[in-house]
Structure 1
Amino acid sequence: MSCTFRSTTKQGKYHLPLQVRWNEPGAHYSLVEKEKLPRFPFSIDQEGDIYVTQPLDREEKDSYVFYAVAKDELGKPLSTSLPIHVKVKDINDNPPTCPPTMPVFEVQENEQIVSSIGTLVAHDMDEENTVNSVLHYKIVDQFPKFPKDGLFLVQTYTGVFQLAKQSLKKQDAAQYLLTVEVSDKDFQTLCQVKINVIDINDQIPIFEKSDYGNLTLAEDTAVGSTILTIQATDADEPFTGSSKILYRITQGDDEGRLGIDTDPQNNTGYVIIKKPLDFETTAIHNIVFQAENPEPLVPGVQYNASSFATFTLFVTNVNEAPQFPQHIVQAKVSEDVAIGTKVGNMTAKDPEGLDISYSLRGDTRGWLRIDPATGEIFSAAPLDREAESLYRVQVVATEVGGSSLSTAAGFHLALTDVNDNPPRLAKEYTGLFFCHPLGAPGSHVIQATDDDLQSFRGPQFTFALGSESLQNDWEISKINGTHARLSTKHTRFEERVYNVLIRINDGGQPPLEGTVSLPVTFCSCVEGRCFRPVGHMPGIPTVGATVGILLTTFLVIGVILTVVFIRMKKNKGKDNVESAQGSEATPLRN
């Protein structure tokens, strides 16, 4: 069973055009919800009539489903429950609503009449596609009304805004505020729309004057110097790409010696020197400037003579030093080249066309010489990569005549390696020893090296004893490409130092061999360390000399004591005689 009821906001109890009735009297009726709702706006009386007890709102809920139940006096169902469907019919009880934020549209200055600008979308909560939700749009106010009212129109049913009468100018008004009435058949709502006028690049830059006159500068004027100030103006919106001005030189500076910086605040142009001026290359520059915008001009607008200006720059001559085409020239030769071999060439050019004389500076090893007239460089002494692999000197070019100005450039000579260094021990092996007497054969490890690059000698050194006489006592065996082991072949060595000759071959091209003497000491050991008597040191007496000195000292002391003793004895005898004589001359008295 179903029925339709109009939504209403009135309070009260309304009878639905709906009634349920059991065939026999005495039935008790009730309604049961199909789904649990926050509120159930229906009731049934004992006659089976169904009522609306609370206001209905289609926008809240547009349909209801519930059951009618008939029971006897004991509460027992008399029949299966009867489903009831109620549809809430819409009425126009909601006014139109504006968008949550004010719409903002943009229109360019050159927009064509009737061009679409934007769309206002209002809402109505009444049922869609019914007369209650059909909206009408109408502009009721424009601010400002300059240059005239009615510049815009809106489509009645779509809300699409269009330009109505003429193209806009931002100079007239940068922004318009429109008040729009949105209505359905019963309600009206006022909404607002903002329209911003966007500037277009329809104005060209115009120079304040077309000729900036003449200027004379010396060719040695410092790079970075500001030599001229220029100015153009643009009527487009300030601080936009349409009004910003960029200056460039279109004629008279093919070498790019000048540049122009622009002040973004006031579009002032500053002409600066980017590269050194050169009288010999160009003595007069007839400069043409152009002022332009970074934004392209609109169709139909073009740059004309007002965007161009001229300027004449006269460059005066200054005597300049010779100039090298490069600050540093690099060359490479083998370190074994013959004396007098040409290893490089450096030439300079004098801007005034004077002759140039060349010389070397910093040739500390005396390896090179230079032809003063041509700048050709030759080897003057044997070169040695191991002493200096990259030899750096300076070539000085000096004017012949004039002010004798000079300039210098670097000449770097890289020496490639040849196998010209025989192998040697990697360090001094002065502490090799064996404890004497030797209890069992022993050995020591040695390492070889040479001063050549790895690529110019063989990948491995080879080792051999220096003479056949050593083969009875010693043996040498290779461990790897750089290390070998020297071993004793017996234990019958004396307590002394043995000098073992070892030949080391580098296997290079050509192979080089070196013979080294390796001192090996056999000595008494104390706690595993070689014990050696202290040898005589310069300025310190030996033990024998020390003993001789001591004996001599004791002998001298003995002689001195003997003489002293004899003299003391003689003096004592003399004293005794004198004492006896005195006793005879002087009698004793009682």
Structure 2
Amino acid sequence: DLLQRSKRRWVLSTIELAEEDKGPFPKMITQMFNDRKKEDNHMFNISGMGVTEKPFDVFSIKPFTGEVYVHSSIDREKYPWFHIKFDILNKDTNKPLDLTLSFDVDIIDINDNAPTFDHKVMRASVKENVPEGLLPVRLQARDMDQENTINSTFTISILSQEPKEPKLKIDQTPETTIGQLAFEGCFNYDEVKNYKVIVKVEDHGKPPLSSTAVINLKILDSNSHLPTFKEREYSGQVKEMEINKEILRLAVDDKDTPKTPGWRAKYFFIKGNEENNYKITTDPDTNEGILTVIKGKDFERTTMNILQIGVENEESLYLCKKGGGTALPPSPDTTNISLNIIDVNDAPVFEKKVADVYQKEEDKPGETLYEILEDPAHWVSIDAKTGVTKTVAKMDRESPYVNGSVYKIVVAAIDNGQPPATATSTILVHLRDINDNIPGLVSDSVVMCADTANKVVLHATDKDLDPFSGPFSFFLLGKDKALKETWKIDPATGQQVGLVALKSLPYGNYSVPLVIQDQQGVGGGGTVVSVVVCDCDGGTACRGKRPLSKAMGSAAIGLLFAALLLLLLMLLFLCQCAGKQFQHNPITLDDGNQTLIKYNEEGGGSACKTGPTTFLRNHTSSVTATDGVKLNSEPTYQITSQEERSYQTSGHMMMDSMGSQKQPQPQQQRDTLRSQGGQMGNMSTSGKYAHASNMHSDHLIAEHLDNKLYAMLDGNVDYPLYHPIEFSYEGQGSKCQSLDQLSLDLGDNLDFLNNLDPKFKTLGVLCGQDVPGRNKQL
């Protein structure tokens, strides 16, 4: 049989089985068969993984039908496939009828595993000044599902972060399981020191599965603050020629974390230590700068030394620019130190160790006379006999007689021989400079062309020599806040500096007070520079006044047309008024009502007595009020009877009555008050009126005669007239309520008067006493 060739073999194939199949079990997955059927005395048998090897009893086969069964669900992550051997045996002899074959069972993956991070909780630390981009925080995740399928492909992202700024993100390399934390913006240690970030990994399966992890991110402080000096100026003193002596300590403030490179100060000299006389070190505990003298200064050369010292940190300054990136750091903080050099008693020093003097022996003393030939400033004198030269005035190195700090004196020696011989000698006095001059401006008036620049250059000078001259230090004088908000000196040191206007200034003259100091800190009480702010029209000098414009503007043209139009309207109005017929109205001249009222009549009158009554005829007159434009006609009240009296005052005849009538009298002024039937008519005295009367001449004559007769009788009465004087109404009445309008709740019951207040009883007792000189009681 082994050598027998057959045309066909057993047909085997790979069997696919879904992972985590829910059954029911046992479940037939396939059937084995053979198309060569010589005999039916055979049976099927399987062995290998899942049958006779681990995991046991997962698969089985029915020996006579060849049906293969699975008995439980399978986890692909543990057993991704099974290799099973297949035999056909003689059921009687149990011997193989054919060669042993095999088949595979592949487990089809399902998305039953969520991707997970290698660490559920991660901790990391980053520096505050780390640049924007990737952070040194790596994230590793894994998925147990089948590789290179959507079930094992995942994405890492940030689920949440606290605080929200700066924005964190995950930078994941494509087709890898690794992600790295990144950020946009800047960290600020002063505001936030710790971040809590929750990251999520999610696969692409259906449905997607995910898991999370926590990152605790700690921010480490870096140099984000510049150190600043606590004092803007320091002063100290050091003895001349003293070395290795601590002079003073400089204190600084730094907001960074102490004992870190971003906090430790590093001091350096800016100017004043050109000869390396000093050194400055840092105290590691207090962060103070220790200034020490290492090479002595000579008082005869320098009496004061000005040091300018700056400070920075060991670590470079990092400033985050808004929106990300690094901003340009500001200049380091500086301070000035004024050191006074204290003079000590120096040992005398001969300029020459050996001096050669030539003298003839046996010469008599005092044979030579000395005389000064040249002393232009008259600073010295000489002893004619001994030749000792002394100063008689203070020498000034800045004098015009001094050339290059050297003053020349010529001395003559004259002997008493015959003829006398003369010799001359020149004394060159080298004047050592002292700081006896204050610096000043070359020009105290400058022009600022506001149309091209906001800065002018100031030049300073000092007659002294170095180190008592420049470079100079400039300061704004005083603490005026408005001055400091308007002007700024930049730079503030040098032979020349810039005066900058911090805001746009109106054209005009400005006075800016300054203080100018030399290297030794010596300066005057103040220098005022006059700044002329003007328009230079692109040049360097203020432009002159422009010629007056001769053009007429649009506004002027409009006013001209408006005036012409108004003139035409007035001409038209006059033409219309001229066409009406003139009507003559006889009027009675009157000077009008005035407002002068005589108030000084205070005497009392006598008993009332009715005067004669003058009967006038009834008539009606009209009053026409003229205000320059309109003529208004008002009817006057009819007067049926009048009581009149006259009095003479100031040479004018005045008529008073219950109603006074106006009469046409030149140069006289009258007030009018008319009444009829108890009614009063007030006529205003503020305007001028022209009265037109319609009364006939006979009426006027009769009334005039009656008034004259009454006036003649007035002087012959044997009693003084008493008549109340009524004045014109000049204002509002009292706002107080009349007593007649008040009412009492008690009505006519006066019993309340029996129980008065104690104060009223006391008043009653006082009023009840006898009045001296009378028998009556009040």
Higher strand share: 1
Whose Rg is larger? 2
